[in-house]
Structure 1
Amino acid sequence: MNIAHVAIWVDDLDVMRRFYETYFEAKANDLYQNEQNQFASYFLTFPQSDCRLELMRRADIQNPGQETLGYAHLAISLGSKEEVDVMTRRLVDDGYERLDGPRTTGDSYYESVILDPESNRIELTI
C-alpha cells in the first residue's frame, strides 16, 4: 500500500508549481480546469517517488497556509545531511523563511523547516 498523492489548496497555481519544479525537480502535468466548478489543478511528480503532490485552486477556498488542525507539513527526503544543509541555504538565500534547523531532533531526524511561497511548511529531511 502506498500514498498516491497529497493535495493542498493554493492561491497561485503557477507560483507554487514553479517553486516545486525549481527546488525539488517536480514535473507537472498539463493544467486541469473545470470551469463549471471554478477548479484548476496540477499534479506534480517527483523523481524516484510514486507519491505525487496535487496543487489545487478554487475561488471560494481562501487563506492557504493558515495553521489549522489537520496536516501539518510536507516532508521531502533529500538523501543526506549535506543535501538538507545545501537546500536549506539555497531556499534561505532565495528569500524563503526558515522556521527551524537544520538540526537533529529529539527523535533523531536531521531536518530543517521552511515555508513555501504560500506559507505551507516543508520539512527537509534525510
Structure 2
Amino acid sequence: MHIEHLAIWVRNLEQMRHFYETYFDVVSNEKYSNVTKGFSSYFLTFPEGGPRLEIMQMPGIPETLNNAFAQFIGLTHFAISVGSEAAVDALTERLRADGYSIVGEPRRTGDGYYESVVFDPELNRIEITA
C-alpha cells in the first residue's frame, strides 16, 4: 500500500497551482471541472514521483476554524524533499525573498532530518526537507 494523493481545499485554485509549480516543480494536469457541483481541481505531480497533491475548490466549503499559527489535531503539515541541505537553504531563502512566511528556519531536527517549514499562500504548512 502507499499514499496515492493528498487533497487540500483551497480558496484560490490558480494561485495555489502557480505556487506549487513555481517552487516545487510540480506538473499539473488539465483542470477538472464539475459544473453541476461547482467543483474544480488540479492534480499536481512531483518530479520524483510519490504521492500527488490534489488542490480543490468548490463554493460552500467553510473556512477552517484552526489557527494556522498553532498546532492542532488533524493533518498539520506535509513534507516535500528537495534533495539536499543546500537545496533546503536555497528554497527557503527564495520563498522568504518572495514574501512567504518561514515558520521554521532551516535546522537539523532531533530525529536527523534537515528541514525548514514554510506557509504556502493559504497558510498550509510545508516542511522542506533534504
Structure 2 length normalisation: TM-score? Answer: 0.91
**Where do 5+ consecutive residues of structure 2 fail to align?**
none
Q: What is the CA-CA distance between 1:66 and the residue it aligns to?
A: 3.9
- Asked if structure 2 preserves the Cα contact closer than 8 Å seen for 1:11 and 1:62, the reply is no
C-alpha distance 26-91 of structure 1, shift in aligned 2 (>3 A): same
Count of paired positions: 126
Mapped partners of 2:20, 2:65: distance in 1: 16
Q: What is the CA-CA distance between 1:62 and the residue it aligns to?
A: 2.8
Report the more deviating stretch, 110-119 or 59-68. Answer: 59-68
Q: Matched residue of 2:43: which SS?
A: strand
Mapped partners of 1:98, 1:42: distance in 2: 25
Task: Quote the RMSD (CA, aligned, Å).
Answer: 1.4
Partner of 1:47: 47
Partner of 1:81: 85
Mapped partners of 2:44, 2:107: distance in 1: 28
Which amino acid is 1:31 matched to? K
Over 6 Å off, 4+ runs = none
C-alpha distance 107-50 of structure 1, shift in aligned 2 (>3 A): closer
C-alpha distance 46-65 of structure 1, shift in aligned 2 (>3 A): farther
Structure 1 length normalisation: TM-score? Answer: 0.94
For residues 70-99 of structure 1, the C-alpha deviation after alignment (integer angstroms, 9 at most, x for no partner) is 111120001111000000000000000001
Q: What's the % identity of the aligned pairs?
A: 52
The equivalent position to 1:94 in structure 2, one of 91, 98, 111, is: 98
Partner of 1:71: 75
